[in-house]
Structures are given as C-alpha cells and as structure tokens.
Structure 1
Amino acid sequence: MSTPAVAVCVPAYQAERYLADTLSSILAQTFEDFELLVLDNASTDGTAEILRGFDDPRLRVERNADVLPLAANWNRAVEKTRAPLVKLVCADDLVHPRCLERQHTVLDADPGLALVCSRRDLVNEQAVPIARGRGLRGLTGRHEARSVIRKIVRHGGNPLGEPACALFRREHFDAVGGFDARWRFPLDLALWIRLLEHGNFHGMAESLAAFRIGRGSLSAQAQRAEYAEQRALSERVATAPEWAVPRLDRLVGAAKAPGARLRRQAAFFVARRQAQRN
C-alpha cells in the first residue's frame, strides 16, 4: 500500500449532528492523494452509524474502547496516520474543496516551512457565515518563525486559527510530542508555537476552512477559563529565552487581549441568537 501525501484526522466524540457534513467536505477535495482517519472516541450517539454510511477507500475508522481526554485523543488520531503532512479537522468544522490542494502545494515545495495556515470563515449551526476571511492579520505570505511568535504575543489571542486552518509535518509533530495536555482551550495554538521551533510559517490569504460556532459552544465560565489559559500561554511564550520577545510586545499583547476576547464573545453571541431564531 502506497503512502498518501496528506493525512486528515477527525477526532469524533458524540459527533452525530455535524459529522456527515464535515466528512463530506473532506472527501470532496480536489486534491485526492490523502487518507482520512476518523477516531471515534467511544461515542454513544449515532456517530458510528453515520460512519458506516460512508463508502470511500480513503476513509479509515478507528474507535477507542474508553473515552480519552482531549489532547490524548487528538494525539492518538495523528499517531494512527501514515502520511508525512497532517491536518486535523474537528468533527463540526468544514474545509473548502481546494484546501488540501492549496496547502499541500505550499508546504511540500518549501522544506523550510513547518506550518501553513489559511484564513477561515466563522459559521453558525446551519453553516451560514457569521464572518468571512478571519485571522492572519499581518501574517499572510512567508514569515520567519520568530516574527510570527512576536505577532502571536502582540495579538492577545490566536491569530493563526483553529486546526482545520493548518497543515503541518508529521516529523515535527512527533519531535515536539504532539498536543500538550497541560492546555485545553489553546491546545491548537500551543502546538503551532512548538512547531515553529522547527521551521518558518506561511499564511494563506484565502479562506479555506470554516469554524462552526453553536449555541452550546462556550459557557461564560468556559470563556473565563479560555481567557486565563490564553494569557498564561502568551506569557510563557513571551518569556521563553529562545524567542527573545521584546517587553513592548508583551505589553501590547496584554493591552489587546481583552479586545480579542470581546471579538470572540461577539461571534459566539451572534451564533447563539441565530440558533434561537431557528
């Protein structure tokens, strides 16, 4: 069996509501040399039945005997793949038909890159856009890793985006130990930062993924926890000697963090209001 060029991982837990749409968006890619690994995290809803409804040789389904914590489950999903380039897509998100084609072209052609990300749309439960082309302000094109770290610190949030936006190298993922279980809400950003220890970054101006916001996505308590973790991660990166982030960047990031939080809360508020009307 030949090794595919790209692996797409979908960790799925109680994912019956959106999983079919997510998988359909992946299987509709113009780039066809990929494997699709779905890891069912011991779901008890209709996830398994939905998976049985797909008949595609690129799709492989694995199932955990017991529910694994978030980071462990995401790591296991990646570990079960074979391809040198990896994308993880959450089971309620979507990817544009040319996402793999565009991102594979960039990452495969430049061995000095560790991470490629695209802009993304924010969509509601019905996949109707709430906001288009979000993320990567000042980060499109090729950027040296340290300059990206500085922009992350100055942003006060996550300017690179969620997993569906990203494509990375399996060798770098293994080298940094995968997703770090010490983090929950900034689990993706923590990995992007570690991957940048191994190469540079390319940001794509196209919106090639969609992040779905549902009515139950984040409670007020979870929002506070997310904000606290985001600030803790930013401070840890800003003070890491290997990145030598100037103190001014840390001050700017601390000042901008509340605004980043408010923008995110606004998107979730709009999604909840739309869900209540439907």
Structure 2
Amino acid sequence: MLSIPSVSVCVPVYNGERFLAETMRSILDQTYRDFELVVLDNGSTDQSGRIARSFGDPRIRVERNRETLPQAENWNRVVELTRGPLVKIVCADDLLHPRCLELQVAPMDSDPGLAVVAARRHMIDEQSRVIVPRRGLSGLVGVHTGVEVARRVVRSGSNPIGESNNVLFRRDDFFTVGGWKTDRPNVMDIDLWLRLLQLGDFLGLPETLAAFRIASDSISSHSDDELYTQQRMLIEEIGESPYFQVRGIDLAVGRVLAPAGRARRRALYALSKVASRGKAA
C-alpha cells in the first residue's frame, strides 16, 4: 500500500504541451520531497498526456478525463483525486520556486489554525523571463484573520492574494466550503480563498515562491471583461457579508481602485505580448 504523502500538488492540463514539462520539472525539483504530483489531462488533443507520462518519477500520477470538463469542474475533480492533507494547484504553464513547498508546509504543519498560506510571485512572459517581480500580498505579509484579509481584498478592488500556484490550503477545508464554484470561473481563486478563511487564519510569506505566466493564449488574456465584472460582483458580495464585517470605507476605496487594477492587468498582458514579439524577431 502506498504511503499517504504530506502534500498533493495538482496540475490540471488541457492542451498545455508548450509549458507542461517546464512546470512539472519545477515541481519535481522541490527541496521538500514528501509530495505526490497529480496531473489531470482534461481530454487534451495535443501531446500533454505523453509529456506527463514521460517523467520517470514514482511521485507522479497521471489521470485523464474521458471528456473535457469546464475549468472549475476539472479543478474540483483533480482535488478529489488527491491523497495528501495539504493541496496546491499549479496551472500547466506556471512555475514553483524550489523552496515553495518547504516554506509553505512548515507553518501549516506547526499551526492547525492556519487555513491558507500564500507567497509572493513573479509575473513571467512566454520565455519565462520576469516582467514584474515580487507581486502580491500588499499589506498581507504575516498572520491575519479572515476579516482582515477580506477588508484588504475589498479595498484593493482586485486579488491581492494571487492565483493557485502561490497558495497552499487544507484538503478537508476545501470540501467543507464546497470547492471551486462553477458559476464564477474568472474569480474562482479569490472566491475560494475567502471561503477557506472562514475556517482559519491567513499567513502571507514575504518570499517570492512561484511564477505566474502572462501568455498571449492564456484563458485570462481573453476574459478581461468577464473578470472585471465578476470581480466587482464579488467585492460587493463580500461587502454585504455579515461574517467579514467589511466597513463602508473599505467598499468605497475598492470601488475607486477597481478600474486601476484592471488597467494594471491589461498593461501586464500588453507587456508580455511586446516581449514575445521581440523574441520572435
């Protein structure tokens, strides 16, 4: 019988052959070794499955969906496939720093009151060059309650915590709060973090332990309008939550700053496209 790993790192992939090998190598090169790597091929038509199975590492488990699922449903399924008590989701084009698991698992193991541990991350282009360093967690380094984090999220008008690759959470908590929501695909990460933070505290690490790729063909690059709309709706929803006790001033600031966050996001994608064109030339 296989022993239960301390951590499950999940890579949901759909036609991700371009970056998948680099992503998997960054996970396998972790200084923390007690983890499983679950790759869920969401009905890819490219070489993603073959690439995932080409690694001769016993910690890897490759599964495949019979049909392609919507993103949230696919991500829920990959967590269902995990065996470890701690879970991290890494998109098939993102990267982890070698010490990511080492520095995130230790505080989760030592403090059962923590529900979410996050770190800063670099924004990288299609050639894995850093275009914006050390992004995220403004005002959120250290231990914070869910109420404190919610107020910071609302005031930012965006997602100051970050995406799934720089976050570690508890498997049991994930199922307690209902997993990824299928009706808000563009903000399903920050939506989940806030629901998890109703079960415990948040720890923001000052280190930069992941990299989020700004690619011209990524889902995020084609859904800016939907993302902005869903983000504004989520901020209003948090503001009305009796649990998070968000103040009127927090909502007012968030409403003002939301367009600026949208402009920064658009600038990132524009910068990545310029860098990619320069490489091609």
Short-chain TM bin: over 0.9
Aligned runs of 1:48-127 on 2, under 5 Å? 48-127=49-128
Normalized against structure 2, the TM-score is what?
A: 0.97
Partner of 2:16: 15
**1:242 maps to 2:221:** no
Letter in 2 for 1:7: S
Match of 1:140 in 2: 141
Partner of 2:229: 228
Q: Displacement of 1:218 after TM fit?
A: 5.9
Per-residue CA deviation, residues 198-233 of structure 1 (Å, 9 max, x unaligned), is 000000110000000112236886211110011011
Q: Which amino acid aligns with 1:213?
A: I
Q: 213-222 or 255-264: which moved more?
A: 213-222
Seen in structure 2, the aligned counterparts of structure 1 residues 114 and 225 have a Cα distance that, compared at 3 Å, is: same
> In the alignment, which residue of structure 2 is the partner of 1:271?
272
Partner letter of residue 81 of structure 1? T
The residue type equivalent to 2:204 in the other structure is G
Residue aligning to 2:27: 26
Where structure 2 has 5 or more consecutive residues not aligned to the other structure, the ranges are none
Q: Cα distance, 1:17 vs. partner? A: 0.3
1:70-104 CA distance string (max 9 Å, x none) = 10000000110110000000000000000000000
Please give the secondary structure, in 1, of the residue aligned with 2:132: strand
Q: Aligned AA for 2:261?
A: A
What amino acid is the match of 1:19?
A: L
> In the superposition, relative to structure 1, how do residues 205 and 254 fare at CA in structure 2: closer, same or farther (>3 Å)?
same
Q: How many residues align?
A: 278
Task: State whether residues 119 and 210 of structure 2, in contact with CA within 8 Å, keep that contact through their aligned partners in structure 1.
Answer: yes
Of stretches 57-66 and 214-223 in structure 1, the one that deviates more from structure 2 is: 214-223
Give the match's secondary structure for 2:271.
Answer: helix
Distance (Å, rounded) in 2 between the aligned partners of 1:219 and 1:70: 12
Distance 1:49 1:168 in 2: 29
Deviations 1:8-42 (A, max 9, x none): 00000001000000000000000000000000000
TM-score if structure 1 supplies the norm length?
Answer: 0.98
**1:189 aligned partner, one-letter code:** I
Unaligned runs of 5+ in 1: none
- The verdict on how the C-alpha distance between 1:129 and 1:247 changes in structure 2, with shifts beyond 3 A counting, is same
Give me the identity figure in percent: 50
Match status 1:174 vs 2:175:
yes
